[in-house]
Amino acid sequence: MNPSLSAIVVMGVAGCGKSSIGAAIATRSGGRLIEGDAFHPAANIAKMSAGIPLDDDDRAGWLLRLGEELQATLAAGERPILTCSALKRRYRDTLREAVPTLCFVFLELTPQEAEKRVLARPGHFMPASLIESQFAALEPPHGEPLTLALDATHPVAALAEAADQWLKPCGERSLARTA
């Protein structure tokens, strides 16, 4: 594993822009985008598609699998940029167990804005009816190490720039924490 590469999770509720911002950060940093949604088992997708929120048990195996993907990407010498809701501290801690120096970019927005965005998103399995459950589960990572909170209503380019500027020293902070 290359310790000079920081692994990044772009996190937040549905509709906050994880995929767009993650892709922009990956392009800017030369990282490899990992879409967390692509790793959900069929049962999780079916449950969400039916308007049923996932619980901790539903997410447990998914989070372990994402941790493995982060480790494999780092081991291949690439910078992983993972999009993952990571709503609760324990979910983020599961990911940190895989990569202790993990950096988080938290995209914040209101429930109203999240609902508006999800309603405008065609073809996604996550219905707007689950927005309320996402906010109910959300434990904002304010004060957690290696975490940057950004207002998700800003333009993608501005958010990617802010994340990029923060991530440059984040890698250095990550290295200092492991030394």
The CATH T-level fold of domain 8-178 is Rossmann fold (3.40.50)
Predicted model pTM = 0.88
> How many whole angstroms separate alpha carbon 30 and alpha carbon 78?
8
For the segment 20-49, the average pLDDT, to the nearest whole number, is 90
Q: Provide the residue ranges of all domains of the chain, joining segments of one domain with +.
A: 8-178
> How many whole angstroms separate alpha carbon 77 and alpha carbon 73?
7
Q: Do residues 166 and 90 touch, judged by C-beta distance below 8 A?
A: no
* Element (DSSP H or E) covering residue 108: strand 103-108
Q: Which of 43, 40, 37, 1 is nearest to 19 (CA)?
A: 37
User: Does pLDDT of 179 surpass 50?
Assistant: no
Torsion angles phi and psi, residue 98, rounded to 5: -75, -40
DSSP state letters, 61-101: HHHHHHHHHHHHHHHTT--EEEE----SHHHHHHHHHH-TT
Sign of CA dihedral 144, 103, 26, 121: negative
**What's the pLDDT score for residue 174?**
45
> How many whole angstroms separate alpha carbon 72 and alpha carbon 70?
6
Question: Using one digit for the tens of pLDDT, what is the confidence trace for 80-124?
Answer: 999 999 999 999 999 999 999 999 999 999 999 988 888 777 665
What percent of the chain lies above the pLDDT cut of 70? 87
- Hey, what amino acid is at 111? P
pLDDT-based confidence at 127, cuts 50/70/90?
low
